[in-house]
Amino acid sequence: MDSIVCAHIYRFAHSQVVKIFFSIYIIVCLLSLTSEFASPSDLLIQSLIDMSIPSLGLSIFSGIYIGTEFRNRTIQNQISHGEKRSSILLMNFLMLIIVFVVLVFIYAFVPAFLFFLKSGNMGILSGYEEYGLWPQYFTRLCIPATLLTVARASGLFIIPFLFKDTVRTILTSIMYSLVVPMLTQSDRFQYPYQYYWPGNIDISIDIAIVAISIIILFIAYYVALAFFKRAQFK
């Protein structure tokens, strides 16, 4: 299993395609800054819950990274060399989650950082910033929001292992990225000042959000495993 992790790290460091992808993604995030500046009061948290751009990014990434592995038969090569299918899936699944979190953070923090350079604050909820409630802001808002966004994107982590092909992975993932964000929008993080004004905090709901998000990710992994374990490779 360690060897799969090391191989991913090596590929990230040496693959031209991965470098080009992240460069283009950062440029897209910078371009989206114009619209983010329109409502700067809760810029960071709203970006963390907005999965549209990161999920479109992951759709392209999973197609060119995992889809290409299937098309070029490099994943098949690992199986034929005796690697466990469950290990291969787990490592790729976790890698996709990490990449997605990185994409979400790039999308949220790059505009927030530039906003900070311009205005001297991070564009977070004024109450939190004013009273110095940074730890609460990150633990009660940012972590649950990020986890919920990852859980909403869980279908994207399964799709490449169902289709095992670059083009079909990208197309299906893009359709998912267009439909799912609309159906699963969370007011709790979209309008956080209504729910999270300091002193008006219900911790059980946040714990529930974290727990449900993790359960959704587990279910997604086992669904992918059920398919991948029995998959026939060309």
Name the site residues for other proteins (rule: CB under 8 A): 3-4, 6-7, 10-11, 14-17, 68, 72-74, 76-84, 230, 232-234
CB 160 within 8 A of CB 67: yes
Closest CB 87 distance from other proteins, rounded Å: 11
Closest CB 76 distance from other proteins, rounded Å: 5
Closest CB 47 distance from other proteins, rounded Å: 31
CA distances from 128 to 43, 140, 146, 162 (A): 13, 11, 18, 43
Closest CB 223 distance from other proteins, rounded Å: 20
Q: Which letter, b or e, does each residue of 58-79 get, where b requires 16 or more Cβ atoms within 10 Å of its Cβ?
A: bbbbbbbbbbbbbbeeebeebe
Q: Any idea what DSSP says for residue 194?
A: G
Of 183 and 230, nearer to other proteins (C-beta) is 230
Of 4 and 56, nearer to other proteins (C-beta) is 4
Closest CB 187 distance from other proteins, rounded Å: 42
Closest CB 83 distance from other proteins, rounded Å: 7
CB 101 within 8 A of CB 142: no
CB 201 within 8 A of CB 54: no
Of 13 and 182, nearer to other proteins (C-beta) is 13
Of 13 and 117, nearer to other proteins (C-beta) is 13
Of 3 and 200, nearer to other proteins (C-beta) is 3
CA distances from 165 to 58, 83, 151, 153, 170 (A): 15, 21, 23, 19, 9
Of 35 and 81, nearer to other proteins (C-beta) is 81
Which tokens is 52 given?
Answer: 């549209």
Helix (H, G, I), strand (E, B) or coil at 10: helix
